[in-house]
Amino acid sequence: MQFGLDVTDDLKRLFDEHLQRGEILVIDGDLTIKDEDIAVIPFLRVRGNLVLQNLFHLRRIWGLEVAGDVVLERCDLLEKLPSKTVVGKTLTLSDNTLLADLGADLHCQHLHIKSCASFTVLDIGINNIHSIHVEHCRNLDALSQSPTGWAPQDLTVAYCGLRVLPPETSVGKNLTVKQCDAFESVGTNVVVGSNLDLSGCKGLRSIGKGLIVGGNLILRDTGLKQMLESEDMDVEGFIDARGTFLKSFPKGVTVMR
């Protein structure tokens, strides 16, 4: 069954029938639902892409298995995703006022969260997520990394309330914490496979020992005053400290200032 850009009365009827029977509704193609008065959505198995937009009364989704991309935007009353959500490609969550829980055992390739004000903590160790991009989540002040052994390849946190990069945080390639005014410190034994970019973090005061950066360390326009000694960190590339007024510089590392 395939549906175009607008939800139909037939689809609403199918929703009600599958909710009553507790069955999975299979959509053979793309599904877009927008500007509709829907409170509950049954378990959906979508073989294309899924867009749920401006569903201001949506409170619950029973389950999601989507082969392509998923966009959830302005679903203001939705507080959590269903457990074991599976998204074949990119999961985008945008402007969802109450959403604060990704549900247990989320699987997707890429995760993009934007302007979701209720997120306060984000687990970056979710299995099989290759890249995580979070921006304008003003109340997000903490990251965690579940003990699964999984590290995302790329992690970006921008314009959020993040305060600390936890000790032993691990990212396979690039880690960016950008324009986070409350950001104060990098924990000990942080490992970044490529570049670590802390540009514009005016509140940055310390970087913990044991830092390993496989590429460049970008400290442009930060509040950092004191840098680690060279024996306390390993930076393979250069340090870009332009706009940052460091009192001293580590030996053996090229510093741009």
Annotate 81-116 with b (16+ C-beta within 10 A) or e (fewer). bbeebbbbebbbbbbbbebbebeeebebebbbbbbb
pLDDT band, very low/low/confident/very high, at 226 (cuts 50, 70, 90): confident
Nearest alpha carbon to residue 218 among 175, 247, 160? 175
Q: What is the pLDDT of residue 127?
A: 74
Q: Is 199 helix (H, G, I), strand (E, B) or coil?
A: coil
Please give the span between the terminal C-alpha atoms of the chain, in angstroms, as a whole number: 60
Provide the percentage of residues in the chain whose pLDDT is more than 90: 77
Q: What is the pLDDT of residue 150?
A: 75
2, pLDDT greater than 50: no
pLDDT band, very low/low/confident/very high, at 252 (cuts 50, 70, 90): low
Q: What is the pLDDT of residue 151?
A: 86
